[in-house]
Structure 1
Amino acid sequence: MRRPGGTAFPPGRPRFEFEDGMKTLRFTRREAGFLIGTGILALLVRGTFFPFVSTDFRDFLSLWFDTLRQNGGLGAIGLAVGDYSPPYIYLLALLTYLPLDGLHAVKLLSCAADLVLALYAMRIVWQVVGNKSYALLAWCGALFLPTVLINSAVWAQCDAIYTAGLLACLYYFLREDSLRGMLAFSLALAFKLQAVFLAPLLLALLLKGRLRPLHLLLPPAVYLLGILPAALMGRDFGELLTIYLSQAGSYQELSMMAPNPYSWLNGMDSEIFAPAGILLLLGVTLIGCYFLVSSRVKLSERAIVSLALLSVLLAPYLLPHMHERYFYAADLLSLVYWFCYPRRWYVPLGVVGCSSYVVCNFVFSFDGGFLRVELLAVVLLVVIFLLLRDTVRELRGEAQA
């Protein structure tokens, strides 16, 4: 038995592995110890932030959790608890049976999802780069990324759950397993509407023949299965079907501290600019797909990672009514992108830097801070331009080859 680098494992020496088809990721005992040790350290660091009570938890999540606990846990999933999708409410209901207060239970759930998304970040880097050191660094980077740490351990938000699904989706598409890829995307979408930010990539993969049209039935099927238990327990079925539509109409501001062009337009007529932003994203997506189809380029693994990052970055940048945390998936994918293109350090620096600032500004109440979100929108525009330029050059090179 030999390692991917060519050196043999010492006879009888313990090893740990993830079976990834032709690219089996094997760890020596020391490497596995590093993997486990950094995971434990990440949880311990998160534990120090558990006493912090965010306004979102105090005003919303704590009320949802208490309502579920007081009404019998799973027996209360038929109640109209919160405006999140039912699968997340089911998990909260299960947590009510543990001898934990709501604050620790909610944060523990999100921290567990942090480990899953870091695992898939590591596997993507291994799949694309084939460098074990980079893969282990991707695991560490994902666990200690500022927005990831703050989102789960400080803010008590659950963006790690749907983002773990998006990373799993990307990983399985890189392995040319469209069934598992769409299943992972469907699970992500069943938890959070923001999973749709990856839809432009899926459209491109569909047009390039990397996604079977029949698998497009999975997202609505999984969503229906996800709301079925709540409906059977008495919650209004029509209300369950339109949860995401209700969420989309909850906020009228063009930008909620999101570093995008709408930060310059807050106070303007939302009915005019909001449809224009949606059409702009649709137009950019269709132009990109036309380029991919007409060039007859065969997408490499690195190119798919680039397109995935562009997808989850352009969507919250061009769409209206975005929150400050909606660049969460872009933060993770910019980290993965960096390991695929080490010389393009400016991409994760710009994306994670801007995202981290606006998130910290909101969570810790900087009262505006020392940077204006309008300025960060310009910085992010430059990063998107450079990313788009590099991606187009690479795709043109592949087409010529």
Structure 2
Amino acid sequence: MAENQLARNFEAQVNKFKQHIYIQLNKPLIRGIIFALVIRYVCLPNKSSDYKSFLEPWYNFIVEHGGFLSLKYDFYDYTPPYIYWLIIASSLLAWLPKVISIKLISIIFDFVCAYFTYKLVRLKYPVGNMPTKAFLIVLFTPTVIYNSSLWSQCDGIYTAFLIACIYYLSMQRNSLAFICFGLGVSLKLQAMFLLPLLLIIWIKKKVSWQQFLWIPLTYLVCIFPAFLAGRPLFDLLLIYFNQSQKYKELAKGVPNLYQWIPNRYYSDVVPIGLIFTTFAILLLTYIIYQTKTKLAPDRLLHISLISVLLVPYLLPKMHQRYFYPADIVSIIFGFYFPQYYWIPIMVQICSLLSYLGTPILIKICSLALGFTLCFVIQKLQSTLNQSQDIQIHEFS
């Protein structure tokens, strides 16, 4: 009798567990995550040209030169933090196929980026399923899948830290925000696309200048293991400078201003483009400084979108992947300002078509992206003016 009762209890527990699993698997979030993982699994075998030319040779070099000790050699043109992952992949994950172990970090950060997107949208919608929708949209955005699962790129990693930076600024956890920004910069210099936002919140006295010290400090901490392995500090500090000298193209498949300028003017246009971009950033900063508007989360997000669109659109020497932060920030913008739903759609289309590399489409997309940028700036200016009018009226 006791044995029969025990068997019935066990069977009841098993059925209860099966029912729980069935309920969980039928939740949209769980189903979405599973489907997102399946898509990435299907993409894993693809080996991009960058994978064959850079990532796989770096992986092989690490294996042949003693793992961590390989860091003393100048065999990579990325900053060390990404190489640390290749060291981990070549040792702890050596049982996996190379292409999978290399791509794994980028795929993980797809989900990290989606998570901080969820957190930001949750600030706008404390109740409801909008944050979950935002989370899933990021995971199924074509450029996100393309970048990590197909191309083995790491733009999603530094972008995840930028989204985290915006989130922590919204939560007024400023030191943590600057550390996240520093981590982004330590991975890719393109994280600097968000710098105009940081300048604006500094000039609006929302953060102190001392908090900017977190950026170089974080970078130094991130390169320290490579220095410890024997690579000269001077080399480590000049990685980004050396990167900037590598490609001599005004625009490498990117839908920005320089699609319309022949590359033969490279030497003349590059310094002009740098000066013009600097002037545009300072002008934007000054315009916002002149207003008394409060930098609430929605305003921070609006400025963030302008920042990650403006800088790669005006800077020369950009690549097609450099609008990746704008892809993600525009999605969040669409949730904060649903009346402008077409903006994230436009940004995604332009970004994706630039991945396909068709020159005429890229030129058309550069016009569409320029129009989108102007529209977003104009809307910010109009809201700033309205805010000013309201404050003047209240004062009167």
TM-score with structure 1 setting the length: 0.88
Residue 117 in structure 1 maps to residue 113 in structure 2: yes
The alpha-carbon deviation at position 276 of structure 1 amounts to 1.3
Distance change (3 Å), C-alpha of 1:286 and 1:32:
farther
The match for 1:92 is 86
Residue 294 in structure 1 maps to residue 290 in structure 2: yes
Q: Which amino acid aligns with 2:298?
A: R
The match for 2:162 is 166
Q: Which amino acid aligns with 1:381?
A: G
Give the whole-Å Cα distance in 2 for the aligned partners of 1:32 and 1:200.
43
Contact 1:66 1:102 in 2 (8 A): no
**Mapping for residues 2-401 of structure 1, pairs under 5 Å:** 33-97=27-91, 98=93, 99-359=95-355, 361-362=356-357, 368=358, 371-401=360-390
Give the whole-Å Cα distance in 2 for the aligned partners of 1:137 and 1:314.
27
Give the whole-Å Cα distance in 2 for the aligned partners of 1:344 and 1:253.
34
Give the whole-Å Cα distance in 2 for the aligned partners of 1:137 and 1:381.
28
1:318-344 alpha-carbon deviations (Å, 9 max, x no partner): 000000000000000000000001110
Question: RMSD of aligned C-alpha atoms?
Answer: 1.6
Contact 2:81 2:186 in 1 (8 A): yes
Give the whole-Å Cα distance in 1 for the aligned partners of 2:113 and 2:73.
30
Contact 2:68 2:229 in 1 (8 A): no
Identical aligned residues as a percent: 33
Q: Which range moved further: 193-202 or 270-279?
A: 270-279
Runs of 4+ in 1 over 4 A off after TM superposition: 29-33
The match for 1:17 is none
Give the whole-Å Cα distance in 1 for the aligned partners of 2:25 and 2:334.
22
Give the whole-Å Cα distance in 2 for the aligned partners of 1:69 and 1:101.
14
Give the whole-Å Cα distance in 2 for the aligned partners of 1:387 and 1:346.
11
1:344-371 alpha-carbon deviations (Å, 9 max, x no partner): 0221121111000111x14xxxxx37x4
Distance change (3 Å), C-alpha of 1:32 and 1:210:
farther
Give the whole-Å Cα distance in 2 for the aligned partners of 1:287 and 1:180.
28
Q: For this pair of structures, how many residues does the alignment match?
A: 366
Rg (Cα) greater in structure: 2
Q: Which amino acid aligns with 1:122?
A: Y
Q: Which amino acid aligns with 1:392?
A: Q
Contact 1:77 1:93 in 2 (8 A): no
Corresponding residue SS for 2:301:
helix
Q: Which amino acid aligns with 1:372?
A: L
Distance change (3 Å), C-alpha of 1:116 and 1:347:
same
Give the whole-Å Cα distance in 1 for the aligned partners of 2:97 and 2:237.
31
The alpha-carbon deviation at position 30 of structure 1 amounts to 5.9
1:362-394 alpha-carbon deviations (Å, 9 max, x no partner): 4xxxxx37x432221111111111111111112
Q: Which range moved further: 308-317 or 291-300?
A: 291-300
The alpha-carbon deviation at position 43 of structure 1 amounts to 1.5
Query: Any gaps of 5 or more consecutive residues in structure 1?
Result: 1-28, 363-367
Distance change (3 Å), C-alpha of 1:103 and 1:185:
same
Corresponding residue SS for 1:164:
helix
Query: Any gaps of 5 or more consecutive residues in structure 2?
Result: 1-22, 391-396
1:228-283 alpha-carbon deviations (Å, 9 max, x no partner): 11112111221111000011111111000110111111323222111111111211
Corresponding residue SS for 1:53:
coil
Q: Which amino acid aligns with 1:198?
A: L
Q: Which amino acid aligns with 1:378?
A: L
Contact 1:65 1:96 in 2 (8 A): yes
Give the whole-Å Cα distance in 1 for the aligned partners of 2:177 and 2:106.
22
The alpha-carbon deviation at position 73 of structure 1 amounts to 2.0
Contact 2:67 2:87 in 1 (8 A): yes
Corresponding residue SS for 1:269:
helix
Give the whole-Å Cα distance in 1 for the aligned partners of 2:330 and 2:192.
18
The alpha-carbon deviation at position 176 of structure 1 amounts to 1.0
Q: Which range moved further: 204-213 or 264-273?
A: 264-273
Contact 1:298 1:399 in 2 (8 A): no
Give the whole-Å Cα distance in 2 for the aligned partners of 1:290 and 1:375.
31
The alpha-carbon deviation at position 304 of structure 1 amounts to 0.8
Q: Which amino acid aligns with 1:65?
A: Y
The alpha-carbon deviation at position 216 of structure 1 amounts to 0.6
